[in-house]
Amino acid sequence: MAIEPVNVMEFQQLAREALPKMYYDFYAGGAEDEFSLKENMEAFRRITLRPRVLVDVSRINMSTNILGYRISAPIMIAPTAMHKLAHPQGEVATAKAAAASNTIMVLSFMSTCTVEEVASSCNAVRFFQLYVYKRRDVTAALVDRAERLGYKALVLTVDVPRLGRREADIRNKMVAPQLKNFDGLFSAELESDSGSALEAYANQTLDASFQWKDIAWLKSITNLPILVKGVLTGEDAIKALEAGVSGIVVSNHGARQLDYSPATISVLEEVVHATKGKIPVLIDGGVRRGTDVFKALALGAQAVLVGRPVIFGLAAKGEAGVRQVIETLKTELELTMALSGCPTLKDITRKHVKTEKERLL
């Protein structure tokens, strides 16, 4: 009998048992030494809480607004590629779970279900993640379809001018499936004699010359708000503001791109300070506990996004598994708020956490 997970980490083992090694390694792995992969989680552990007692916590309200859309808790689904490699229903199952948990799913540009299939499968608020391809017309076509289909925002991923070296994928010669979203638009070379075909595919398609000024091009082809995902410094946060984006996602791509990039939670405050409250700042990377969500909010994030745990939930139990992952994080966050004396998200302040640096002072 498989164990019944009591926290989101326990889904990882179930996913490992459910998946072929090549796919499990693809989902679980990071770049090179996987230093940042471990750090994303460890850095959360180095932050402690400063709870307040004797506050009325008989009712806890976790609901929040993201770009004007109300969701049940500040926990969203990060864009991750190719959900059909985890479960036959793919992104449709994930989207249904997002709807059931009343949260926002960010659909990956590299999805295995089409933008149309996901849109018609449920009434979740959906955002659409973008890569800019050398073939700008391909990106523009997807933007146009997403906008017509009622996706509410674009999440432009800015940390992949080229694909990071994910050594497990190189060893396993990770495959690159033909993605249905691109049918009729273009076909890429999906074979690689050596190493990861995904890397070969990415490096063939991605526009490594795309820069801050080119966000004007994206704005010229859409009316949707644009979030940039992959900012890790105050300097770039200021550039994002200047480019007129509607929000930032602090992210190191789940440590799959530049190894030794900082743990995201360790740079969140720097980005929040640089934006001076002008636009919302979200974060992803290593969120595995309700306490992690609480820490991110205390350090200025409006919400977190969750990547791997959602995929592991999907691999283990399909839609129900994704729902269980989100609901478990919500349960933990609610309890953390109660035990910290914070009945609403507004009550969570900077003074509810102590970073490692502050502890050493």
Please identify every residue annotated as catalytic. Answer: 253
> Distance between terminal CA atoms of the chain?
49
Q: Which residue lies nearer to ligand FNR by CB, 192 or 264?
A: 264
Report, in Å, the least distance between residue 360 CB and ligand FNR: 26
Q: Which residue lies nearer to ligand FNR by CB, 108 or 139?
A: 108
Q: How far apart (Å, rounded) are the C-alpha atoms in residues 238 and 233?
A: 9
| E-only strand ranges, the chain | 48-49, 64-66, 69-71, 75-77, 105-107, 126-130, 154-157, 226-231, 247-250, 281-284, 303-306, 353-354
Q: How far apart (Å, rounded) are the C-alpha atoms in residues 339 and 194?
A: 53
By CB atoms closer than 10 A (0-12, 13-18, 19+), residue 293 is buried
By CB atoms closer than 10 A (0-12, 13-18, 19+), residue 70 is exposed
* Among residues 74, 164, 262, 285, the one that binds ligand FNR under rule CB under 6 A: 285
In this structure, what is the dihedral angle of CA atoms 337, 343, 345, 346, given to the nearest 10 degrees?
-130
287 forms part of the interface with ligand FNR (CB under 6 A) = yes
Inter-residue contact 318 to 83 (CB < 8 Å): no
184 is in an annotated binding site: no
| Beta-sheet pairing, 226-231 with 247-250 | parallel
DSSP state of 46: T
Report, in Å, the least distance between residue 219 CB and ligand FNR: 19
CA angle 264, 155, 104 (to 5 degrees): 85
290 is in an annotated binding site: no
Write the binding mask 334 to 353 for ligand FNR: x where contact by CB under 6 A, - elsewhere: --------------------
308 forms part of the interface with ligand FNR (CB under 6 A) = yes
307 is in an annotated binding site: yes
Positions in 237-266 near ligand FNR (CB under 6 A): 251, 253-254, 256
Candidates 3-11, 78-86, 95-103, 200-208; binding stretch for ligand FNR (CB under 6 A): 78-86
* Among residues 129, 192, 266, 324, the one that binds ligand FNR under rule CB under 6 A: 129
Among 267, 333, 244, 275, which residue's Cα sits nearest to residue 64?
A: 333
Report, in Å, the least distance between residue 119 CB and ligand FNR: 18
φ/ψ of 130, rounded to 5, equals -125, 140
288 is in an annotated binding site: yes
Report, in Å, the least distance between residue 157 CB and ligand FNR: 4
CB atoms within 10 A of CB 207: 15
Longest dimension (CA), the chain: 64
331 is in an annotated binding site: no
Q: Which residue lies nearer to ligand FNR by CB, 94 or 157?
A: 157
321 is in an annotated binding site: no
Q: Which residue lies nearer to ligand FNR by CB, 195 or 343?
A: 195
208 is in an annotated binding site: no
* Among residues 110, 143, 228, 337, the one that binds ligand FNR under rule CB under 6 A: 110
Report, in Å, the least distance between residue 256 CB and ligand FNR: 6
47 forms part of the interface with ligand FNR (CB under 6 A) = no
Q: Which residue lies nearer to ligand FNR by CB, 185 or 338?
A: 185
Among 160, 256, 138, which residue's Cα sits nearest to residue 210?
A: 160
* Among residues 89, 103, 157, 275, the one that binds ligand FNR under rule CB under 6 A: 157
166 is in an annotated binding site: yes
Positions in 171-230 near ligand FNR (CB under 6 A): 229
Q: Which residues here bind ligand FNR, judged by CB under 6 A?
A: 26-27, 40, 78-81, 108-110, 129, 157, 229, 251, 253-254, 256, 284-287, 306-308, 311
